[in-house]
Amino acid sequence: MMQIVEWWQNLEPEGMRTFVTIGMVSSGVLFVQMIVLLFGGAFDIPDFDLDVGSGGAAGMFSVRGIGAFFTGFGWTGATVLDSGQSLPIALIAATLVGGGTLTVFILLMRWIYSMRADGTINYKKALNQIGSVYVPIPPRREGLGQIEILVHGRMTTVKALSDAEERLENLTAVKVVELVDERTLLVERLSPGDGNRSEDNSPESETESVDAPPSPDSL
């Protein structure tokens, strides 16, 4: 522990501690988010999307996107300072590399989601299931948003529409009510009690009723 404290205190020149802190924190956040994204499931952590549009820049202003930018920003700034360059040069280089890292990250996310959205996923399994809004969904089917929902045991991001009169904001709990097309779902805001009813209405939970055998007294 003392060695870590001494290493931290000896970080020079000016700005080095800031860059290293940004790099370490961002790397940790991005690592956790990517593990959750790849493996999904019950331990999923919400990705707080700050995008104000209708979905075109999805991921750019999410926790994952911001984490990707500042990971590149922090470590590049620290590396440039360590090489003897001035703080302004380090800031410029860090910003450029951070932007490049963000671009690569967005392309990677699109590839991952496109792999998830191929014919191996049957989105009919999402009917009556509960998810949360990832990219805000405009009202009255005026545009597309996105939701995160568990399909085939994996957390998946899917395009979504809404008939609601008001926009469904990020992290709003929603219920899938219709399959619009192969890759687009119609959702509604989750009402109290829908969480329990959704399990009862799912195809997997349907069972045939069986008449009970007559009791001995009735014979």
Residue that the structure tokens 């069986």 belong to:
210
Domain co-membership, 16 together with 94: yes
Instruction: Give the mean pLDDT of 117-136.
Output: 81
pLDDT at 5 over 70: no
Domain co-membership, 8 together with 104: yes
Domain count, the chain: 2
Domain co-membership, 44 together with 12: yes
Domain boundary among 67, 89, 116: 116
Note whether residue 194 is domain-resident: yes
Residue that the structure tokens 């890759």 belong to:
183
For the chain, how many helices (H) and strands (E)? Answer: 5, 5
Strands 173-181 and 130-135: antiparallel
Domain boundary among 116, 151, 181: 116
Check residue 208 and give its pLDDT. Answer: 40
Question: Each residue of 64-76: pLDDT tens digit?
Answer: 788 889 999 999 9
**Total-model pTM:** 0.48
Q: Which two tokens stand for residue 98?
A: 């951070």
Domain co-membership, 101 together with 78: yes
Check residue 31 and give its pLDDT. Answer: 87
Domain co-membership, 81 together with 110: yes
Helical pair 63-82 and 87-116, crossing angle rounded to 10 deg: 150
Domain co-membership, 130 together with 110: no
With beta carbons less than 8 A apart as the criterion, state whether 81 and 16 touch.
yes
Which residues span the domain enclosing 184?
123-205
Domain co-membership, 110 together with 127: no
Domain co-membership, 105 together with 134: no
Note whether residue 212 is domain-resident: no
Question: Each residue of 35-89: pLDDT tens digit?
Answer: 876 665 433 444 444 333 333 344 555 777 888 899 999 999 989 988 888 889 9
Strand partners, 185: 160, 179
Note whether residue 217 is domain-resident: no
Note whether residue 178 is domain-resident: yes
Domain co-membership, 136 together with 42: no
Name the helix (H) or strand (E) containing 201.
helix 194-201
Strands 145-151 and 154-162: antiparallel
Cα–Cα distance for residue pair 15/90, rounded to 1 Å = 9
Domain co-membership, 101 together with 58: yes
Q: How confident is the model at residue 8 (pLDDT cuts 50, 70, 90)?
A: low
Domain boundary among 116, 149, 172: 116
Cα–Cα distance for residue pair 145/160, rounded to 1 Å = 5
Secondary structure letter of residue 56 according to DSSP = T
Between 134 and 206, residue with greater pLDDT: 134
